[in-house]
Amino acid sequence: MNDLTNKSVLIYGDGFVDYIADDQNNNSFTKYLGGATVNVAAGIARLGAASSFITISGDDETSAFVRKELMAEGVDLSFALVVPEKRVSGVYVHLTENNDRHFHTYVDETPDIQVEFDSLKQEAFQQASSFHFCSGTLFHPTACRTTREIVSQMKKRNVFLSFDANIRPLRWESEELCRETICSFFKQVDILKLTEEELSFLTKTESREEGIKRLQHYQIPIVLITVGEEGTYAVIDGETVHVTVEKVEPVDTTGAGDAFMAGILSKIYWTGVPKTKEEWIEYISFGNKLGAICATKPGALSAMPRLADL
């Protein structure tokens, strides 16, 4: 067991609101607290582990809603910043015929108000048992610099680094900038999670096997390629393993990948980083199960599993 005194999983990202379509007509929407890093932070807390969220919000009603909902989930906001002028971002999520999500339109009134590294408390880095981030804020130069500084702090402290590519093309100036920025973090992380589509995009390859081969250059200890109802292809110290998942009837896949990561990071929080392939497969199977449960309910955070669901 880990010594968890004053420790938590530290996560950096945007507070976010998902406006999710009520049906496949995509004409009416319901508001949910959302965003990949928000989902992971809350998902970890729902599983009984401690999570701390670095983000920035404002003095408006939507910002207050985001903070209130996060605290209600048990997420620590001690290291979050409040700047009155900031407005929380959002996205309209359409549903396809197969109930898959399609991120249709982003709303971001204050993109240039971002977390400045010098504004963060040193206690955040001292208390981190692991650090998780996505590419959702990397499109902005300030947020990207802040992420690099946090990663640097984590590396100095030998903190486990988790990165979910979680690519949202609409937020980037160009595909090449997106690709170069995301790949620039690969040599520093301990675990990388991405979809097959993201693997193809980042490595400019046509097959999973080709993509995995291209990633070998970065020497990432653990690569997790999620493939929906087929489970996960895990590259564990260079060996590819297919970890299957029990089939479910999907209602809404929004947030399933975040539930998957919350499961793995909560396991790492409680029992430490796996030392063998078999242990990694156990952790990944747990993540697969959480992702499947999440996909059986509408919404992202609202569908994030709790301990009682298991």
How much is the pLDDT for 139?
93
Residue at 221 is within a domain: yes
Check residue 250 and give its pLDDT.
Answer: 66
CA count, 13 A, side-chain hemisphere, 222: 23
pLDDT at 113: 95
Q: What is the DSSP string of the chain?
A: ----TT-EEEEE---EEEEEESSTT---EEEEEE-HHHHHHHHHHHTT--EEEE-EE-SSHHHHHHHHHHHHTT-B-TT-EE-TT---EEEEEEE-TTS-EEEEEEE-S-TT----GGGS-HHHHHSEEEEEEESTTTTSHHHHHHHHHHHHHHHHTT-EEEEE----GGGSS-HHHHHHHHHTTGGG-SEEEEEHHHHHHHHT-SSHHHHHHHHGGG--SEEEEE-GGG-EEEEETTEEEEE-------S--TTHHHHHHHHHHHHHHHH-S--SHHHHHHHHHHHHHHHHHHHTSSSSGGG---GGG-
100 located within any domain: yes
Q: What is the pTM (predicted TM-score) of this model?
A: 0.90
- 2 assigned to some structural domain: no
In a domain, residue 8? The reply is no
Return the pLDDT at 184: 98
User: Euclidean distance between the first and final Cα of the chain, in Å?
Assistant: 21
* Residue 185 domain boundaries: 13-309
Q: Is 129 a member of any domain?
A: yes
Query: How many domains is the chain built from?
Result: 1
In a domain, 121, yes or no: yes
Look at residue 301 in the predicted model and tell me its pLDDT: 66
pLDDT at 126: 94
What is the CATH classification number for the domain harbouring 37?
Answer: 3.40.1190.20
Q: Is 257 among the domain residues?
A: yes
- Predicted confidence at residue 143, as pLDDT, reads 96
Examine residue 85 and state whether it is found in any structural domain, yes or no: yes
Residues 6+ apart with CB under 8 A from 200: 206, 211
What is the structure's pLDDT at 187? 97
Rounded (10°) angle between helices 208-215 and 196-203: 60
Kindly list the averaged pLDDT for each block of 10 residues, start to end, along the chain of length 310. 79 89 88 88 94 97 93 96 95 83 86 95 95 95 97 96 93 95 98 97 96 96 94 94 83 78 96 96 94 72 70
